[in-house]
Amino acid sequence: MKNKPFDPDQKNAPVAKDNPEATETKQPLLGRVSRRSFLSHLGAAGIAASTQPLMATAQPIAAPVGPAAEAHPAVAGTMPITLKVNGKEHHLQIEPRVTLLDCLREDLALSGTKKGCDHGQCGACTVHVNGRRVNSCLSLAMMHQGEEITTIEGIGQPGNLHPMQAAFIEHDGYQCGYCTSGQIMSAVAMMKENVGPSDDDVKNAMYGNICRRGAYPNMDGKQIKSARVALGGVGAKPWRSLEAEKALQGHAASATLFRHAAEEALKGAHPQSENGFKVELSKRCLVRALTLATTSA
Amino acid sequence: MDFNELLDFIGSDQGAVAAPPAAPPAPSAIIGASLSRIDGPLKTTGSALYAADYHLPHMSYAMLVCSTIANGTISSLDASQAEKMPGVLLVLHHGNIGPLFRVAPGSRGGRNSEARPPFEDEKILYWGQDVAVVIAETFAQALAASAAVKVQYNAEKPNVSTKLDEVIPAAGTPGGPHIESKRGDSEAAFSSAPVQLDATYSTPVETQNPMEMHATTAVWENGRFTLYESSQGVINHLNVMAQVLGVPRENIQVISKFIGSGFGSKLFPWPHSALAAAASRQLNRPVKLMVPRKMMFSNTGHRPRTQQRMRLGATADGKLVSLQQDYRNHTSHDDDIKENCGEATPFLYSVANLQVTSALMKRNVGTPTPMRGPGAVPGLFAVESAMDELAIKLKKDPVAFRLAHDTLIDEEKKKPFSSRHFKECLEVGSQKFGWAKRTPEVGSMRKGDLILGWGVAAASWGAGRGLSEAAVSMKSDGTVRVSSGTQDPGTGTYTVLAQIVSDKTAINQIAGAVMMGIGMGLYEETICDPRNGHAINDNFADYIVATSADMPAIDVTFLDIPDPMMGEYGARGIGEICLAGIAPAITAAVYHATGVRVRELPVRIEDLLASRVLI
């Protein structure tokens, strides 16, 4: 494997040292700040207080930032950063507000990572940071200095395919191809997560990657299973929501947890929770929960 | 777009007349073989290039500024602050865009989405209408500056009502509904029928939401445009842009190597394409413009809302004697777009008296555009729901009731079908599903603590052929090059050009459409705020599409009967029909389980609270 294995104890994962508020909780969820933990631990007032100084430091810049930026000297409003992407170090001058996604696509010309919503809702921009999947549109490039970033280009290339890429081709697990980079990045990372062995476990673990063409039937069960065989079989522990919290990140984790929360809430609050409407009810509650989470951001 | 318009579009898109093949080709081991698609290694490694994936020297980035009202006029637009912001190169708006032209009406020269070019006047007709575009050195700079363009409006009350109930003159009179299909005397046959069904069905605004956001990378160089587009119709795009930009056709090249789906929303150009091109001409630099997901809920098309009154009459022993479908759909103020809901109605069932009428209701919404299975998909929701309701009224099995009204001729055109296997479809489907085990009483089927509902719906779809042209050449290294002016929206065009599409790709297509049908039945609806016309659920968290966790077991069976009338290989088109029928089958199943008939999509949990089925 090209990536570091997933480390459930987070021994190697960096704690969010640039965010003192987050460490005060003494519960470093996932070892670093995720969107959800960030929001739930800080609250809206905290966000306003901590982001204001950052915005105020933005200064006009005098030179374009583009693929040629690696050759440019420092310019006002930009910061020098070193990103390690697919094993190669890049020295860049970028604005602090540039997302990891835009940095990869526009500054490093790695356009295999796709922009599908820019809001962390679709999964098309999924990349690996230290072996874990993240939505690169929800992450600022400057937060990832010194970390191992892997994009779809680093997973395998035409003629040198990763087993997961080969499995997607063999099982026709794609149509237009636009969500495919993110699907594969999620699937590869999931192999090291304790998501459980069944097709349903895989469905839940891949929930955060939307395919509008609905190519899921060829994307989830048998296909990923065949890649699992090729990779020696991993992720075989039974899936539980707490395991998932550790293992999953971003939208996928939020969705799964909210769904469970909704189901649990329904059991107590709604007399019909045990009947055939349960799944539909929880789906609707998930929608409401996600809406609340999004609008409260 | 109705079917004839579609054929016109296909014809115009291919640009030239092709001679028929001199002799049928010999059978091939490649055709229909279960090959993996040849674009797999590119699409699975991130190497396939989509419209916004190109990297060009001196690239600049554009961000749209969109109206925050749905009806009124711009009273002032102040770009001075934005123009002073870091990296900003240009802010274009009504005052400085320069001439952009309308496409000549009625010509075969191309179809634009909106008749009015961007920034032509200061009238606002829908929320999200483009009012300015900011071009800067980086995406982040353009995004920041777009928020600094100050626009003030004289706002008037918008009409985004979902009730399409305006009183209009009678059918066939000026200003009244247009008669789309007619045979016999449906009105008289309905009034005298002993068993009647009179019900109104509604389908909501759905937004196509291809995963790839609409995008244009425009390059102006030596008096010529190169447009990297996400387009489902590259030749149409070229024809339209030549007219809008006022340059000869030969001075534009449209490149669309891969598109991240379109579902109809990328058939015709949207205003952002002309804006990116105009900006690149003014700046003499490449301009990359992506339409944000949020804006795709307003200004790159949608399936319009429909409201369909169905009146069906039958004899007491269950013979359908009259079928009337009076449908309305909303459209934008400047463009009359009919959602052709009656497309499949005249030829789906045998019935002596039939009438279909249509009417348009103007709303302050962006211009609708075809969405996967345009017309017939919402139309069949109404027709098939009504057939189900009538079957239940007659105490007939829904499958048997449909089979009893099968027809082998199109009773409207009095012509046989090139191919119709409605009976086989329903029979094979029933057998595979175990339909004989279904008990018809509401709430009568249980599995543990679940109440089961089983529903059925049928669909029919016209098949069309357009003139097309492809060039095949064998190169000295023994490889063959096939070229054609078309595009691959995810359906496997590159593979199709190399072979006739296999079962593997076809099953993938159908299963994907079933997923979209689940979305249509249970989740999808774009909701406009009545105060300002803003699509309030303009993102993937609030506009729910089916995901992997929603995926049921899907069993796709093909009858595998070729249609030799359609072409030498007997191949069929499947991309559109496979979405038709899913939603009415779901609502029929919901009725069977709960006794609640949902006539307005999507099915909401609130709808089911009316259920009186005991747990």
B543 contact A CB<8A: no
pLDDT of residue B108: 65
Please report residues of B whose CB lies closer than 8 A to that of A211.
211, 512, 548
Interchain contact, B539 vs A119, CB within 8 Å: yes
- Check if A60-155 and A161-240 are the same fold: no
Q: Identify the architecture of domain B178-207+303-445 in CATH.
A: 2-Layer Sandwich (3.30)
pLDDT of residue B403: 97
- Check if B60-158+208-297 and B178-207+303-445 are the same fold: yes
Interchain contact, A220 vs B551, CB within 8 Å: yes
CB atoms inside a 10 Å sphere around CB A273: 16
Whole-model pTM: value is 0.82
Interchain contact, A213 vs B488, CB within 8 Å: no
Nearest CA in chain A to B46: A112
Nearest CA in chain A to B608: A277
> Which residue from B84, B202, B162, B307 is spatially nearest to B598, judged by alpha carbons?
B202
* Separation between Cα atoms, residue B181 and residue B175, nearest integer Å: 18
Interchain contact, B549 vs A204, CB within 8 Å: yes
Interchain contact, B138 vs A179, CB within 8 Å: no
Please report residues of A whose CB lies closer than 8 A to that of B502.
none
Q: How far is B373 from chain A (nearest CA, A)?
A: 14
Please report residues of B whose CB lies closer than 8 A to that of A151.
46
pLDDT of residue B323: 98
Looking at domain A161-240, its CATH class is mainly alpha
> Which residue from B85, B99, B174, B170 is spatially nearest to B134, judged by alpha carbons?
B85
Query: Which CATH number is B60-158+208-297 given?
Result: 3.30.365.10
Please report residues of B whose CB lies closer than 8 A to that of A202.
548
Give the start-to-end residue ranges of the domains of chain A: 1-57, 60-155, 161-240, 249-296
pLDDT of residue B615: 66
Interchain contact, A161 vs B514, CB within 8 Å: no
pLDDT of residue B444: 95
| CA distances, B263 to each of A11, A90, A125, B299, B321 (Å) | 46, 39, 21, 15, 36
Q: How far is A220 from chain B (nearest CA, A)?
A: 8
Interchain contact, A119 vs B544, CB within 8 Å: no
Please report residues of B whose CB lies closer than 8 A to that of A125.
none
> Which residue from B185, B187, B196 is spatially nearest to B320, judged by alpha carbons?
B196
Give CA angle at B496 (B291, B378), nearest 5°: 55
* Separation between Cα atoms, residue A25 and residue A43, nearest integer Å: 13
Interchain contact, B551 vs A290, CB within 8 Å: no
Please report residues of A whose CB lies closer than 8 A to that of B547.
207-210, 216
Nearest residue, CB atoms, A119 vs list B212, B293, B604: B293
> Which residue from B354, B202, B547 is spatially nearest to A254, judged by alpha carbons?
B547
B139 contact A CB<8A: yes
pLDDT of residue B576: 74
> Which residue from A167, A254, A165, A139 is spatially nearest to A204, judged by alpha carbons?
A254
pLDDT of residue A197: 72
**Residue-level pLDDT, tens digit, chain A, 297 residues:** 333 333 334 333 333 333 333 333 333 333 344 333 333 333 333 333 333 333 333 333 333 344 444 444 456 689 999 999 999 999 999 999 999 999 999 999 999 999 999 999 999 999 999 999 999 999 999 999 999 999 999 999 999 999 889 888 888 888 899 999 999 999 999 888 877 777 777 888 888 899 998 877 766 555 565 555 554 443 333 333 333 333 333 334 344 444 444 444 444 433 333 333 334 434 444 444 444 433 333
Q: How far is A105 from chain B (nearest CA, A)?
A: 8
Interchain contact, B137 vs A64, CB within 8 Å: yes
* Separation between Cα atoms, residue B539 and residue A252, nearest integer Å: 16
Q: Tens of pLDDT along B151-164?
A: 999 999 999 999 99
SS3 assignment for B356-390: EEEEEEECCCCCCCCCCCCCHHHHHHHHHHHHHHH
* Separation between Cα atoms, residue A80 and residue B127, nearest integer Å: 41
Q: Identify the architecture of domain A60-155 in CATH.
A: Roll (3.10)
B551 contact A CB<8A: yes
Give the start-to-end residue ranges of the domains of chain B: 60-158+208-297, 178-207+303-445
Please report residues of A whose CB lies closer than 8 A to that of B509.
175
Residues 6 or more apart whose Cβ sits within 8 Å of residue A272? A278, A281, B615
A-to-B residue pairs, Cβ atoms closer than 8 angstroms: 248
**Positions in chain B whose pLDDT score sits under 50:** 1, 3, 6-7, 10-28, 30-32, 500
pLDDT of residue B496: 66
Strands B353-362 and B320-331: parallel
Among B138, B607, B612, the residue to mutate for chain A (most A Cβ within 10 A)? B138
pLDDT of residue A229: 53
Nearest CA in chain A to B517: A214
Q: Tens of pLDDT along B470-485?
A: 778 777 777 777 777 7
Please report residues of B whose CB lies closer than 8 A to that of A106.
55, 59, 61, 138-139
B136, β-bridge pairs: B61, B88
Interchain contact, A181 vs B46, CB within 8 Å: yes
